[in-house]
């Protein structure tokens, strides 16, 4: 069936575990996550915080990348960094605020970082739906944003990053981010109307892109800031939803290495579909780079496509481009006859590591 043009019913028949329905509920997820973020979780003392670190892996870890790019735009004047490894960063100490984020609450790297952050006297807050992390928070009196379980972590982005933003704002480290999150809800609803399966292929850019990707290797380029995080998100969603290889990079850094790399191994290069994530009104110095680069590499790769994030502020544009990528990766999965939800290799790997 892969490669043939499928009807809506055929496409949906591959979504055995209901990922499209989960994506359709994303605006409600963000709204509920705002309530969770505003709930009476007792946050640590906010005085003298020198740095913020978000520990987490994969679909949970991306919440740290999102927080790290949004925080400076909403007034953070201290470093806000994501950490995706077993070891907590060496700079952690009593002046550090640490978010340990694990949807399952059982991710080994995040649990190790959590323990180390606690040992170093950092002020720790957790976000999780259960598992060992939630248990440890209960035993050790660590504030926990408890989020609903039963989803895939990568389909829970709202639950995972919104409480972090709310906590930072409630602690006086950010301002106006919650206002913009609330304001993004009607925008997300209108994007859902456009990206969901109810929207026919002609009106649905996510479905069209998925069709154009069949048989090609997605290479997703972003631009410094939130679009670089979006490129990482798209790559990971193609990996986990569609179970295909995908790669990402961002401007301007990719101009200093990867741009040269499209020269040899011509057969492999000719299978790449380069997707450049951008926004209207980028600074000229970046816009020019995108144009020149796509022109330079256009003859070596199969396709180049530009996707524009839409919205009236960064949060709206970030959520729009993430939402587009989530749907595009799920439609790619369905076009390939692949159930987007299960990630058997991650499950098997975790099982073997635990055994
Ligand atoms: C699966 C997914 C993975 C997990 C990762 C960490 O949907 O997105 O990338 O997020 O294996 O697990 P958690 O999020 O439970 O800490």
What is the CB < 6 Å shell around ligand 1?
Answer: 57-60, 102-104, 107, 110, 152-154, 240, 343, 346
Which atom of ligand 1 is closest in space to residue 104's alpha carbon? Answer: 15
Quote the ligand 1 centre to 28 CA distance (angstroms).
Answer: 21
Closest atom, ligand 1, to C-alpha of 155:
7
CB 242 within 8 A of CB 332: yes
Cα–ligand 1 centroid distance for 289 (angstroms): 34
Q: How many CA atoms lie within 13 A of 124 on its CB side?
A: 28
Classify 127 as helix, strand or coil.
Answer: strand
Residuewise pLDDT in 10s, the chain (355 residues): 444 678 899 999 999 999 999 999 999 999 999 999 999 999 999 999 999 999 999 999 999 999 999 999 999 999 999 999 999 999 999 999 999 999 999 999 999 999 999 999 999 999 999 999 999 999 999 999 999 999 999 999 999 999 999 999 999 999 999 999 999 999 999 999 999 999 989 999 999 999 999 999 999 999 999 999 999 999 999 999 999 999 999 999 999 999 999 999 999 999 999 999 999 999 999 999 999 999 999 999 999 999 999 999 999 999 999 999 999 999 999 999 999 999 999 999 999 998 7
CA distances from 250 to 61, 73, 147 (A): 19, 19, 32
Helices and strands (DSSP H and E) totals, the chain: 14, 9
Asked about 243 being catalytic, the answer comes back as no
Residues composing the chain: 355
Instruction: Report whether the peptide linkage leading into residue 115 is cis, meaning its omega lies within 30 degrees of zero.
Output: no
Per the annotation, the verdict on 288 as an active-site residue is no
Alpha helices in 173-300 (DSSP H): 177-195, 205-213, 226-237, 266-269, 284-297
Asked about 350 being catalytic, the answer comes back as: yes
């Amino acid at each position: 069936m892969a490669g043939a043009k499928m009807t809506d019913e055929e496409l949906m028949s591959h979504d055995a575990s209901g990922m499209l329905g989960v994506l359709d509920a994303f605006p409600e997820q963000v709204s509920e996550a705002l309530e969770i973020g505003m709930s009476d979780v007792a946050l640590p003392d906010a005085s003298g915080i020198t740095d913020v670190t978000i520990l987490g892996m994969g679909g949970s870890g991306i919440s740290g990348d999102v927080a790290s790019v949004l925080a400076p735009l909403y007034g953070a004047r201290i470093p806000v960094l994501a950490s995706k490894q077993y070891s907590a960063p060496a700079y952690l100490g009593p002046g550090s605020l640490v978010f340990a984020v694990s949807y399952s609450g059982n991710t080994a790297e995040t649990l190790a970082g959590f323990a180390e952050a606690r040992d170093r006297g950092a002020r720790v807050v957790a976000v999780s739906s259960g598992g060992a992390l939630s248990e440890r928070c209960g035993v050790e009196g660590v504030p926990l944003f408890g989020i609903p379980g039963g989803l895939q972590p990568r389909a829970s982005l709202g639950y995972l990053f919104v409480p972090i933003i709310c906590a930072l704002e409630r602690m006086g480290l950010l301002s106006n981010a919650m206002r913009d999150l609330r304001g993004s809800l009607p925008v997300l609803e209108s994007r859902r109307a456009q990206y969901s399966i109810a929207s026919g292929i002609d009106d649905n850019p996510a479905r069209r892109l998925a069709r154009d990707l069949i048989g090609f290797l997605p290479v997703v380029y972003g631009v410094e800031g939130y679009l670089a995080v979006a490129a990482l998100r798209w790559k990971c969603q193609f990996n986990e939803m569609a179970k295909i290889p995908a790669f990402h990079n961002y401007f301007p850094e990719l101009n200093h290495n990867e741009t040269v790399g499209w020269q040899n191994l011509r057969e492999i290069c000719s299978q790449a579909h380069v997707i450049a994530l951008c926004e209207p009104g980028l600074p000229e110095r970046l816009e020019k780079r995108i144009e020149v680069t796509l022109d330079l590499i256009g003859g070596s790769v199969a396709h180049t496509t530009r996707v524009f994030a839409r919205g009236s502020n960064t949060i709206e544009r970030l959520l729009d481009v993430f939402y587009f990528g989530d749907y595009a990766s799920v439609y790619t999965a369905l076009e390939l006859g692949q159930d987007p939800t299960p990630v058997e290799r991650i499950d098997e790997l975790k099982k073997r590591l635990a055994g």
